[in-house]
Structure formats: C-alpha cells, structure tokens
Amino acid sequence: MAAGAKRTKLVIFDCDGTLVDSQHMIVAAMTDAFASQGLLAPPRESVIGVVGLSLDWAIARLVPAESDPGLVDLLSEAYKEAFRARRLGPDHAEPLYDGVRDALDRLAARGDVSLGIATGKSRRGLDAVLEREGIAHHFSTIQTADTHPSKPHPSMLFAAMGEAVAEPVDTVMIGDTTFDIEMALGAGTSSIGVAWGYHPADALRAAGAHHVTADCAELELALDRLMLERQVG
C-alpha cells in the first residue's frame, strides 16, 4: 500500500443470530426435515448449537454417527424445502434484532468503513432476508456457504478481505457463535461476539473474542475501540 493511502476498515457480520433472529424458523424447518424421513427431531438446544455451520455440516452433527451417509443429503434437501415453504407461510418470522438496522445505517454512512457478510446461509436464503429488510445495499462483499467451506474455515474472510482490499489488521468479524470467532482467529482478524445470539457469552470469550457486546450501542463503541487498538502505521 502506498504511503499515505487511505486504508479500508472492513466490518463483517454473520447473519443468523447476529443480524436476524431466525431460530424459530430454523428449528421448525429442521423438525419438518427430520419428520419427512420418519425421524425424531433433535432437541432445540442441539439445533441452535449448530447454527452458523454450513447446512451439511450442521446436519451431520445432529444425526447419529452410525447413520447412512446418504441421510445427511436427504435431510439437507428436506430442510431447504421446509424452510422455503415456511418462508411463504403466515407465521414466517426472521426479524432484525433490536438496533441492528440503525447500527448498519450509521456504519454504512461512515466514510472509513466497508461492510460485509460471511454466513453459513445459502446465497438464496440470505438474499431473501436482505431484500425483505431493504439492507442489501449496505454490503460491499457477501460470502455464503454456496462457495466456501463451512465455518470455522477462514475462506470466507480471506475472500471478503480480497474483495474489499482490506488487511486482517483492519478487519473485524462480528458473530454470535464460536464458529465465527474461530474463523476470525484463523484469518488473523479481530472479532466481536454478540451476546444476543445462539452461543453463550462465556463460550464466545473462551473461543477468543476480543469483545463480547450486549447490544448494538455497545457494539458500535467496541468497534471504534478495536479499530483504534489495532491500527498501525
């Protein structure tokens, strides 16, 4: 980078459990998927615990270890169909968490920050959320499970930084699961855990999160502190 050049600060968000509260939809669709194969659904806590992983990886953790390998594929397809059907239903609910819209608006309006998404969701599912909420225009780089290994592999973050022309020292990953924090560690970026999602705050800290925040106001303050702390040169 040329001397005196302005450096890009990249803030990357997870989706489910970080931007949107989709746990009702996820658990219901997983219950439908298992029922379609004549299987008892996993406990809610188990389903929530694998949110953030790519779908095949998540389901592989929910079925017995001795299961037929083809069962994961069957359940994955059944889950996708169930989720699509429920998205069209009257009880569909994937709301943005309180404060998320305002926080995104403020961050996107800053001249020193670019926003991105790195999610275990499919691009189709993510696009549906972003378009419904009218926030797609805020994100300059979007990475999904369609074209990357599952979290915590750092592939999504490397791709996002490449697209945004950002260095790890200027990049922050924000997520609600230990998979997000471990992904950030693997990519050499900072990480902020959000306590309103699906993994406990203590687990996020133990995984190596630089900060864990309780709400969006605190998140913005943590971002500013972290960017200043890691800024070099």
Beta-carbon contacts of residue 99 (< 8 Å; ≥ 6 apart):
215, 216, 217
How far apart are the C-alpha atoms of 89 and 109, rounded to whole Å?
A: 35
Q: Tell me, what amino acid is at 137?
A: H
Q: Is 224 part of the annotated catalytic residue set?
A: no
Pairwise CA distance, residues 30 & 76, whole Å: 9
DSSP 22-73: -HHHHHHHHHHHHHHTT-PPPPHHHHHHTBTB-HHHHHHHHS-TTS-HHHHH
Q: How far apart are CA 8 and CA 170, in angstroms?
A: 7
Instruction: Tell me if residue 14 is catalytic.
Output: yes
The residue from 14, 21, 170, 180 that is catalytic is 14
Q: Which member of 16, 170, 176, 180 is catalytic?
A: 16
Distance between CA atoms of residues 39 and 105, nearest Å = 43
Question: Nearest-CA neighbor of 157 among 184, 130, 124?
Answer: 184
d(CA 29, CA 153): 25
Nearest to 51 by CA among 23, 90, 84, 72: 23
Q: At residue 54, what is the residue type?
A: S
Return the active site residues. Answer: 14, 16
